[in-house]
Amino acid sequence: MALNSRAFGTEITGNRGPNQELSKEARSSIVSAVLAGTPKGQVARDHHVHRNTVNTTFKRLQHHQSLDSLPRSGCPTKFSNADKRRITRYIRQDPKIKWKTLRRLIH
């Protein structure tokens, strides 16, 4: 039986793609390694992340005293999922429907 070569702190599923968030466990592992004195480049290699991710994660702890994801700013969605399905259904029924007519049907 072969030993698992997965580095500590990496996602178990391996499905974390680029630009997706790290888990809280991965963030805490990164911060503890940096606090233990491990060079940031080595921490980045061990956790399979970019060195900037290590720096950002460590700064997050310093500035916010938390490893949690922070709320994001942004406008709330204008249409609910039900509204989107209804709009799609109307457009499929009549692809040449006018916007004014569609708005009247939605609201």
pTM of the model: 0.54
Q: Which of 89, 103, 41, 77 is nearest to 33 (CA)?
A: 41
CA angle 75, 81, 83 (to 5 degrees): 95
Average per-residue pLDDT for the chain: 82
- Sorted by sequence, the CB contacts under 8 Å of residue 105 that are 6+ apart come out as 86, 90
Q: pLDDT tens across 26-69, in order?
A: 899 999 999 999 999 999 998 888 899 899 888 888 888 888 88
Model pLDDT, residue 64: 87
- Sorted by sequence, the CB contacts under 8 Å of residue 26 that are 6+ apart come out as 9, 10, 11, 47
Model pLDDT, residue 66: 85
Domain regions of the chain by residue span: 24-64, 77-107
CA dist 15 and 17 (Å) reads 6
Tell me what the mean pLDDT of segment 8-19 comes to: 57
